[in-house]
Amino acid sequence: MPLWTLFGLKQGKVSTSWPKAGEDGQAGVLGMPRFDPSRCTDGCSACVEACLPHAITLNGSTHGARLAVDYGRCVTCQLCVEVCPTDAFTPSEDWAFGVTRREDLKWVQAAASASGQALKSQIRRVFGRSLHIRHVDAGSCNGCESELQALNNPFYNLHRLGVFFTPSPRFADLLLITGPVTYAMRGPLREAYEAMPEPRFVMAVGTCAVSGGTNGGGYACGNGVDGELPVDVYLPGCPPNPAAIIHALMMLLERAPQRVHGGQLHGAERA
Amino acid sequence: MSVPHPPPQVHDVAVGELLNRCKAAIGDGERMQMAYAWYPELVSDLPELRYIVHAGTRPLSIWRCRTDTPSVPSLSCVSPLLSWYEREISDLCGLTFEGAPDPAPLVLLPGATVSPPPLVPGATPFINYVPLPPTLPEVSGPVARNIQLLPFGPVRADVLESGQFDFFYLGEAILHYHPQLFFKHRGMEKRFEGLTPDLGAVLAERVSAVGSVAHALAYCQALEAAAGCEVPPRAKWLRILLAELERLYNHLHYLGHLCHTTTLKVGEAEGKYLEERAKQINARATGHRFLRSLIAPGGLRREPDIAEIDKPLTQLANELTEYGAMLEASSTHLDRLITTGILSRQLAFDQGATGPVERASGLDRDLRRDQPYAAYPDAIVKVATREAGDAHARQQVRIEEALHSIDLIKHVLWLLPAGPLRVPCVPLPGSEGLGWAESPRGSLYYAVHLDESGRLARVKIKSPSFSNWRVFVFTVHDSNMMDYAINEASFGLTIAGCDR
């Protein structure tokens, strides 16, 4: 019988202390492509045709850029970056895309100021700095689950931040939903929400839960959590990486600021 | 370079011949692999059936079967594994199978009806759903009142995929087990309809994230077969590098999760830490922790950055060797695995088990070796097998495969030829192709049909978990509650892949 205790001690501490300091563990991860409308040329619609979830569409109005870009629909497939002949879309490591208002995921010319809408300000008073989460899979591809499970691996060690997953919605402060909401999961999802004590919060994790993404719609699916339940935090990404999920959770707890407004990361925070 | 593996052969089989042909194939030791239906353009308003037959290392056979009536003979009395395929075809295409032993809906939940059949081209189906309890066996006899029913799910404890499991149990003993899957049915196959082949690859990666590479690979290989194009050697080698990186992080996750169920805490932490390191290697090499956005019809979209992966992989291999040896020497862990969830070789073959699950039951089958694709014809593929068929055998197969994956990756790093990454892949209008891959969980097939404008008309996905969920049930009946979670973990199933 091997000495697992000794083995564990020998391995030492491997948890990152991010976001306070240290590595976020996401070196190399490609995030949402950045959009620069000044490089966009008239008559070209290569990116629109290459965008499966319709995150990039031709802007019908005469105002603003000729393209409308909705990062709430982006699955970070990077095809727009590859097909754009003029580098109007460039690869980035911008993945901390958690926002409290759905509109903040849509690109606008003048990036809004950092004064995002404050969450229900009672959250800090009610929950302190801790949070209990009930997760519901409403039809994901299991990518979001894989990254949510990673939160409890020794590297991210979510417990160190006072955040826990709980088996029962009765003990949960936050309902964390993945997937585009299939016809069969609508009922169980609502029941889980109804079973939670108030105040309760809802987070839509992953592009499917935010907007349906590539998998929403069709004969068996809805288009995300909007319209099913009130959403407090939207976190697109396909799937959002563990650090992005941690950032969104810290944002909910008012322990980190929202970094995205008008579909853009704040200038100072761009890598 | 070795000779490319011969492509599948298509045979026309009349409806009246089906049953005899099926009996003959099984008598020859062949296995019915899968069945699906699709609607060829301008032929009839009835779908055409396809059966795919697997016979070891011989080329695959595809049976093409046109029917004049909406009722065809069921083959599942001869080949039981076809039962789920027939039930799916009934749900999604409206055909009925005469003489089927279990004709209940599969993909549609109890209380759900859909009209028109979803796979009719251009149809806009609507699901009417008034939830009903599942149809469970009737319990009678003198101890009936002692038998309890435990419905569990679809929202389960922990971060897990949704599915409902009904247990009939007496004390600790499970008498009967009924999994209600398909809460996550998203109609993914329908979603391919009308897409351009290139965009289909983005969608294929999003059917089951932990199988992104295998899904993209099988899909692209199906299109390349339809187009008759030859992928450049460098892309073929890089494809198997990606496929083995995928196997590696999946198997590491599997070991960590198995330790979770046997409550070996440090073992769980180590397995999940190694998985995290593998995912971080993936991200640095490809820009994506699940290795997405690289594989495309005709080759690869861009060059991965593999210059730096050798060293961290060597480190990972050393730690995995030590970790695997420790798991194999931990009596508390092994006590929970040995004799748990035994799947016999015969049952595994008849019911269609695949991947590490069938190999742990003594079936020496692996598509990488038997029907080699990408650069596997030129690579040395060692197939790990065990005879015991229990949870322990399934762990052993996975440990051996994970270590072998690292060998294969190093092999690719040594042998990687220079050259282009991609050739044009334009399948002819009306063409079709079959692609396959040995995913971390077993055999994955994509059958692709193109319409007259060169867009996707029908994409059928046979995922490994669809096969293994069917088999898993047989190991739960007559087992006990304490072993259930361990047994489920030892199968390493996904629900997203099964439900689609």
CA B146 to chain centre: 38
CA A173 to chain centre: 18
Among A70-74, A244-248, B6-10, the minimum mean pLDDT is found in: B6-10
pTM, two decimal places = 0.95
Residue A116 covered by a domain: no
CA A243 to chain centre: 10
Count up the domains in chain A and report the number. Answer: 2
For residue B127, give how far its alpha carbon lies from the nearest alpha carbon of chain A (Å): 7
Residue A257 shares a structural domain with residue A153: yes
User: With a CB-CB cutoff of 8 Å, which residues 96-135 of chain A face chain B?
Assistant: 134-135
Q: Burial of B210 by CB count in 10 Å (0-12 exposed, 13-18 middle, 19+ buried)? A: buried
The shortest CB-CB distance from A153 to any of B162, B209, B276 is to B276
Interchain contact, B186 vs A220, CB within 8 Å: yes
Q: Tell me the per-residue pLDDT of B337-362, one tens digit each, with 9 for 90 and over.
A: 999 999 999 999 999 999 999 999 99
Among B56-60, B273-277, B317-321, B362-366, the minimum mean pLDDT is found in: B56-60
Spatial CA neighbour of B198 closest among A43, A83, A141: A83
Whether the pLDDT of residue B83 is over 50: the answer is: yes
Residue A234 covered by a domain: yes
Within an 8 Å CB–CB cutoff, is residue B402 touching chain A? no
Find, in chain A, the residue whose alpha carbon is nearest to that of B285: A28
CA distance A201 to A204: 10
Residue A162 shares a structural domain with residue A241: yes
Residue A46 covered by a domain: yes
Q: Tell me the per-residue pLDDT of B262-318, one tens digit each, with 9 for 90 and over.
A: 999 999 999 999 999 999 999 999 999 999 999 999 999 999 999 889 999 999 999
Please spell the DSSP secondary structure of B13-45, one letter per residue: --GGGHHHHHHHHHHTT-EEEEEEEE--TTT-S
Residue A178 shares a structural domain with residue A221: yes
Find, in chain B, the residue whose alpha carbon is nearest to that of A50: B199
Q: Tell me the per-residue pLDDT of A180-236, one tens digit each, with 9 for 90 and over.
A: 999 999 999 999 999 999 889 999 999 999 999 999 988 999 999 999 999 999 999
Within an 8 Å CB–CB cutoff, is residue A192 touching chain B? yes
Q: Tell me the per-residue pLDDT of A125-177, one tens digit each, with 9 for 90 and over.
A: 667 778 999 999 999 999 999 999 999 999 999 999 999 999 999 999 999 99
Q: How confident is the model at residue A116 (pLDDT cuts 50, 70, 90)?
A: very low
CA distance B230 to B303: 18
Spatial CA neighbour of B395 closest among B271, B213, B478, B210: B271
* Per-residue model confidence (pLDDT) at position B102: 86
Residue A199 shares a structural domain with residue A136: yes
Residue A170 covered by a domain: yes
Q: What is the mean pLDDT of residues B41-52?
A: 84
Per this entry, what is the length of chain B? Answer: 500
CA distance A232 to A102: 9
Interchain contact, A4 vs B267, CB within 8 Å: yes
The shortest CB-CB distance from B154 to any of A14, A30, A188 is to A188
Where does chain B hold its CATH 3.30.460.80 domain(s)?
9-129
Interchain contact, B270 vs A75, CB within 8 Å: no
Among A197-206, B42-51, B96-105, the minimum mean pLDDT is found in: B42-51
Whether the pLDDT of residue B327 is over 90: the answer is: yes
**Residues of chain B contacting A150 with CB distance shorter than 8 Å:** 272, 275-276, 279
CA distance B99 to B103: 9
- Regarding the domain delimited by B9-129, which CATH topology (the fold level of the hierarchy) does it fall under? Beta Polymerase; domain 2 (3.30.460)
Spatial CA neighbour of A112 closest among A210, A230, A254, A257: A257
The shortest CB-CB distance from B157 to any of A7, A167, A180 is to A167
Interchain contact, B283 vs A146, CB within 8 Å: no
What radius of gyration, in Å, describes the C-alpha atoms of chain A? 19
The shortest CB-CB distance from B184 to any of A78, A182, A218 is to A182
Pair of tokens at residue A231 = 């959403």
Mutant choice from B289, B331, B499 vs A, greatest count of A C-beta within 10 A = B289
**Domain, as residue range, for A88:** 34-95
- Regarding the domain delimited by B188-499, which CATH topology (the fold level of the hierarchy) does it fall under? Cytochrome-c3 Hydrogenase; chain B (1.10.645)
Spatial CA neighbour of A35 closest among A107, A140, A105: A107
CA distance B231 to B304: 17
Interchain contact, A220 vs B185, CB within 8 Å: yes
The shortest CB-CB distance from B186 to any of A136, A182, A187 is to A182
